[in-house]
Copies of this chain bind each other. A is one copy, B any other.
Amino acid sequence: MNITAAHLAEKVQGVVEGDGAVMLTGVAGIRDAEPGDLTFLANRKYAPLVAETKAGAIIAGDDLEKGAAKCAVIRVKNPDKAFTVAALLLGLPAVTREPGVHPSAVIAPGVQLGTGVCIGPHCVLEPGVAIGENTVICAGVYIGHGSSVGRDGLIYPCVVIRERSKIGRRVIVHSGTVIGSDGFGYYREGEKYKKIPQMGIVEIGDDVEIGANAAIDRARFGKTVIEDGVKIDNLVQIAHNVRVGANTVMAAQAGISGSTVIGRNVQFGGQAGVAGHLNIEDNVVVGARGGVTKDIEKNTYVMGFPAMPHEKAKRLHAHTMRLPELRDRVTALEKRLAALENKEKRG
């Protein structure tokens, strides 16, 4: 699609500064952009690149100074949102998949498929599976007995959804992810571990997205719950009986131990971890690598391991960094005090 900067500005409810007639034919990052490209300022760190970009136009918010760019500026309230709209107009079209069931898919008798559903090659849908309208199940996906996937979903190739899982509407699951694997539960008899049956399920709300090669275990009984709007990155571990509250986000390689309850709007940085049987309340932020070992009250930003409020963690870190100096101060004190004691003795 070709569109002028001025025309695009209308579509994203923005205002053009500079040459509104410049023709845009693609999108690109600020460093790679060519003259026909639209670009945007993703992060203040890249502001110095604005003056140098070869892009035809840039989408920016209030924080870009007037005149900072040589190209046209499309000024908007929410640059991420505006760029998303623009990218869907100007970018390469996404891959589309036609409705229908590939002949190599193995669909059990009685499986329910909504209208517009696409089932890719080599999929396996076991008895009792139900797939909602317009949902795309890509190649090689396995969906176990009695599981359901809501409408308008997108399940990428080679996902495994074990039996009795309930997945909401508009859910995206990336390749390699396993939903409903057994929780890690054993009891001991002498030296040996005996398996505790994992008879519960996984229930996933609407508008959830789960990255690649993540693992979400089914409950021992009852359910492991991922509420509406949760976003989970690659290689994340969610253990059995965990509940993740609505609109919580978890960056890559984070892990939540069994039976922990996480509130709404919580944020986990990459490689963060949480011990089992804890309560993490609403709006908590756990910094990257944070290791949570006890309950966290709402609206708290924690970091470190064991995780503590981030001001405290930063203060302790600063103290630790000055340990050599502290040691030197103590050594100096010892010398001065010894000198004084000697005087006193002689005196």
| Chain A positions near chain B (C-beta within 8 angstroms) | 27-29, 31-32, 42-43, 45, 78, 80-81, 83-84, 87-88, 91-92, 94-95, 102, 104, 106, 120-122, 124, 126, 138-140, 142, 144-145, 156-158, 160, 162-164, 172, 174-178, 181-182, 184, 186-187, 189, 191-197, 199, 207, 209, 211-215, 217, 219-222, 229, 231, 233-235, 237, 239, 241, 246-247, 249, 251-253, 255, 257, 259, 264-265, 270-271, 273, 275, 277, 288-289, 291, 305-306, 315-317, 319-324, 326-327, 329-330, 333-334, 336-337, 340-341, 343-344
CB distance from A192 to the nearest CB of B (A): 5
Residues of chain B within 8 A of A78, CB atoms compared: 187, 189
Q: Are B233 and A234 in contact (CB under 8 A)?
A: no
A237 close to B234 (CB less than 8 A): yes
- The chain B residue sitting closest to A291, CB to CB, is B289
Which listed residue (B28, B29, B191) contacts A247, Cβ 8 A?
Answer: B191
> Out of B121, B222, B320, which one reaches A32, CB within 8 Å?
B222
A316 in complex: contacting residue of B124, B176, B181, B321, CB < 8 Å: B321
Knowing A106-B102, A222-B28, A273-B289, the reply to whether A259 touches B43 (Cβ < 8 A) is yes
Contact B197 A144 (CB under 8 A): no
Closest to A78 in B: B187
Asked whether, in the complex, the Cβ of A29 is within 8 Å of the Cβ of B241, the reply is yes
Q: What is the minimal beta-carbon distance from A314 to any residue of chain B, in angstroms?
A: 10
Q: Once the chains are docked, how many angstroms separate the CA of A337 from the CA of B333? A: 8
Of B184, B189, B271, B330, which is within 8 A of A81 by CB? B189
23 contacting pairs across A/B (C-beta < 8 A): A28-B221, A81-B194, A94-B199, A124-B157, A140-B140, A140-B158, A157-B160, A158-B178, A176-B215, A191-B246, A193-B231, A193-B247, A215-B252, A251-B257, A253-B253, A255-B270, A257-B270, A289-B291, A316-B324, A322-B327, A323-B323, A330-B330, A336-B341
